[in-house]
């Protein structure tokens, strides 16, 4: 069997995007939960739970973008113009929230202003990511290797719904993370949010799945054609099981349960997305082979990626290990 570079690269980039959703999802979620918690010191505590890692979490977005550019330039040059305004808004949201995160710790009089920037930045970034995913699922019109849709093609009821859906997803994930990392009254009130959040999440996943299957015959064919559904059935069933588990963990269960189950939901949802579009990279017409850079480019980048990615992944794992456990008031260590 010959080694197929585009497939390897599709695997690496899929992993990068997955890690991004997994990791940056919960710290964006904290920004979304921010408005509901404002007792003395609570916001500091919430931020302290992600302070050592949020910066590294965002790494994967940059790495994903850079690799996509270097390895699948045609995907890069058709997807980004198609979702132009959401991408710009997402970047600005991320800038605002990143800088607000740092500056608020050094601010006294203007802290409320930076809190607002953090909330709005997180919300904008999360919503736009959802819109981008929704647009991708709906398909992007490409003629002659160029984006051929119109300026607001990304704006549809479906993509907006996906944007709202990702807001709820990240909020649930952030809530699960905080339940794991906090204790006492704050944790009790966070647990109370798990039920409404996970119910909303279940409804949203149901609607998005149905909407996709009804609206995209090709995706329906992928899931239900032949015996496929037998193989793919575990995905929706496991999602259902996980969300039920999160719902129940509001009352009982280990502090980490909601978070772990929620990460599993992200994994399953992401698998669902890949099942729906693979081997396309920009549906409905651009597949990973057509989008590929020349072989020499893909090999050139692969050398660097094979050396450096494992180092970055091990380092990330190590820092999560170092910062494991509950974060308490008075742990000023890393802020």
Q: Is 17 in the site for other proteins (CB under 8 A)?
A: no
Q: Is 110 in the site for other proteins (CB under 8 A)?
A: yes
Nearer Cβ to other proteins (216/280): 280
Distance in angstroms between the alpha carbons of the first and the last residue of the chain: 52
CB of 209 to other proteins, least distance (A): 29
Q: Is 148 in the site for other proteins (CB under 8 A)?
A: yes
CB of 248 to other proteins, least distance (A): 34
**Judged by CB under 8 A, which of 95, 192, 203, 210 binds other proteins?**
95
Nearer Cβ to other proteins (17/67): 67
Confirm if 191 and 185 have CB atoms less than 8 A apart. no
Q: Is 328 in the site for other proteins (CB under 8 A)?
A: no
CB of 162 to other proteins, least distance (A): 20
Q: What residues between 273 and 302 interact with other proteins by CB under 8 A?
A: 293-294, 296-297, 300-301
**DSSP letter string over 7-71?**
HHHHHHHHHHHHHHHHHHHHHHHHHHHGGG--STTHHHHHHHHHTTTHHHHHHHHHHHHHHHHHH
Q: What residues between 50 and 89 interact with other proteins by CB under 8 A?
A: 51-56, 58-59, 61-63, 65-71, 73-74, 76-81, 84-85, 87-89
Nearer Cβ to other proteins (66/218): 66
Nearer Cβ to other proteins (109/227): 109
Q: Is 147 in the site for other proteins (CB under 8 A)?
A: yes
Nearer Cβ to other proteins (226/325): 325
Q: Which of 50, 60, 47 is nearest to 18 (CA)?
A: 60
How many residues make contact with other proteins (CB under 8 A)? 72
Nearer Cβ to other proteins (132/261): 132
Instruction: Please state, as a whole number, how many other Cβ atoms lie within 10 Å of the Cβ of residue 329.
Output: 14
CB of 245 to other proteins, least distance (A): 31
Nearer Cβ to other proteins (188/295): 295
Instruction: Locate 284 and state its tokens.
Output: 């409905």
Burial of 270 (0-12, 13-18, 19+ CB in 10 A): middle
Q: Which of 232, 300, 240, 303 is nearest to 272 (CA)?
A: 232
Q: What are phi and psi of 329, to 5 degrees?
A: -60, 140
Q: Which of 226, 333, 326, 229 is nearest to 275 (CA)?
A: 229
Q: Is 14 in the site for other proteins (CB under 8 A)?
A: no
Q: Which of 241, 258, 239 is nearest to 249 (CA)?
A: 258
Q: How many CA atoms lie within 13 A of 151 on its CB side?
A: 1
Q: Is 333 in the site for other proteins (CB under 8 A)?
A: yes
**Judged by CB under 8 A, which of 35, 39, 102, 224 binds other proteins?**
102
Nearer Cβ to other proteins (145/234): 145
Q: What residues between 305 and 324 interact with other proteins by CB under 8 A?
A: 305, 308-309, 311-312, 315-316, 318-319, 322-323
The whole-angstrom separation of Cα 204 and Cα 185 is: 29
CB of 43 to other proteins, least distance (A): 16
Q: DSSP state, 286?
A: E
CA quadruple 111, 116, 117, 122: dihedral sign: positive
Build a one-symbol-per-residue string for 229-268: x at contacts with other proteins by CB under 8 A, - elsewhere. ----------------------------------------
């Amino acid at each position: 069997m010959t080694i197929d570079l585009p497939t390897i690269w599709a695997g690496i980039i899929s992993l990068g995007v997955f890690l991004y959703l997994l990791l940056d999802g919960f710290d964006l979620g904290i920004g979304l939960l921010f408005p509901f918690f404002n007792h003395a010191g609570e916001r500091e505590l919430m931020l302290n739970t992600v302070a050592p890692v949020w910066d590294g979490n965002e790494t994967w977005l940059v790495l994903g973008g850079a690799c996509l550019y270097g390895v699948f330039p045609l995907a890069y040059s058709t997807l980004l113009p198609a979702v132009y305004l959401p991408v710009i808004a997402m970047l600005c949201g991320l800038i605002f929230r990143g800088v607000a995160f740092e500056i608020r710790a050094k601010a006294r009089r203007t802290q409320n202003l930076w809190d607002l920037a953090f909330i709005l930045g997180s919300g904008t970034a999360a919503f736009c990511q959802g819109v981008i995913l929704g647009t991708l699922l709906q398909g992007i019109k490409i003629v002659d290797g160029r984006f051929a849709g119109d300026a607001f093609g990304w704006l549809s009821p479906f993509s907006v719904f996906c944007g709202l859906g990702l807001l709820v997803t990240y909020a649930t994930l952030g809530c699960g993370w905080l339940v794991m990392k906090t204790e006492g009254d704050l944790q009790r009130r966070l647990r109370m949010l798990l039920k409404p959040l996970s119910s909303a999440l279940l409804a949203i996943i149901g609607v998005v799945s149905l909407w996709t299957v009804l609206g995209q015959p090709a995706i329906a064919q992928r899931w239900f054609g032949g015996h496929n559904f037998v193989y793919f059935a575990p995905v929706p069933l496991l999602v259902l099981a996980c969300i039920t588990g999160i719902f129940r963990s509001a009352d009982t269960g280990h502090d980490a349960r909601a978070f772990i189950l929620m990460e599993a939901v992200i994994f399953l949802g992401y698998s669902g997305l890949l099942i729906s579009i693979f081997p396309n990279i920009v549906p409905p017409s651009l597949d990973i082979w057509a989008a590929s850079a020349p072989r020499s480019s893909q090999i050139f980048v692969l050398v660097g990626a094979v050396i450096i990615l494992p180092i970055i992944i091990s380092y990330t794992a190590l820092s999560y290990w170092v910062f494991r456990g509950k974060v308490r008031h008075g742990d000023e260590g890393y802020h």
